[in-house]
Amino acid sequence: MSASNVTATWFDPLPIAHYAQLVETNLPGPKEKVVRPPNPTIGTPKIEVSCGPNIRYLGCLEDGKPNYRASILIVTKGEVPQTPTMTYIIGPANKADSEAGKLLNGEFPVTKVDTVDEYTFWRFNVELQLTAYEQKIKYAINDEFNPDFQFFIPAVDQSMNAMSYSCNGFSINVDVDEFPGCLWLDVLRKHDQLHYHVMLGGGDQIYCDAIKFVSKEFEKWLKHKRPHNTLTPELDASFKQFYLNHYMEWFGVDPTSQHL
Residue 52, sorted as left (phi over 0), alpha (psi -120 to 50) or beta, turns out to be left
Span 27-75, pLDDT tens digits: 555 545 555 668 889 999 999 999 999 999 999 999 999 999 999 999 9
What percentage of the chain exceeds 70 in pLDDT? Answer: 86
Average pLDDT, rounded, for the chain: 87
pLDDT score recorded for residue 258: 35
Contact of 200 with 237, CB cutoff 8 Å: no
Q: In this model, does residue 97 exceed pLDDT 80?
A: yes
| pLDDT tens, position by position, 123-144 | 999 999 999 999 999 999 999 9
Q: What is the largest CA-CA distance in the chain?
A: 70
Mutual orientation of helices 216-224 and 233-251 as an angle, nearest 10°? 120
Q: Are 69 and 58 in contact (CB under 8 A)?
A: yes
Work out the angle at residue 68's Cα, subtended by the Cα atoms of residues 64 and 71, and round it to the nearest 5 degrees. 140
Q: Report the C-alpha gap between 252 and 260 in whole angstroms.
A: 13
Residue 15 — very low, low, confident or very high, per pLDDT cuts 50/70/90?
confident
pLDDT of residue 249: 83
For residues 193 and 251, what is the distance between their CA atoms, to the nearest angstrom?
Answer: 25
pLDDT of residue 166: 85
Which pLDDT tens digit goes with each residue over 232-251?
888 899 999 999 988 888 88
Band (163; pLDDT cuts 50, 70, 90): very high
Question: What's the mean pLDDT in 184-197?
Answer: 92
Q: What is the pTM of this model?
A: 0.88
- What is the separation, in whole angstroms, between the first and last Cα of the chain? 19
**E strands present in 66-118:** 67-77, 86-92, 104-107, 110-116
Q: How far apart are CA 213 and CA 228, in angstroms?
A: 22
> Which alpha helices (H) appear in 27-107, and where do they start and end?
none
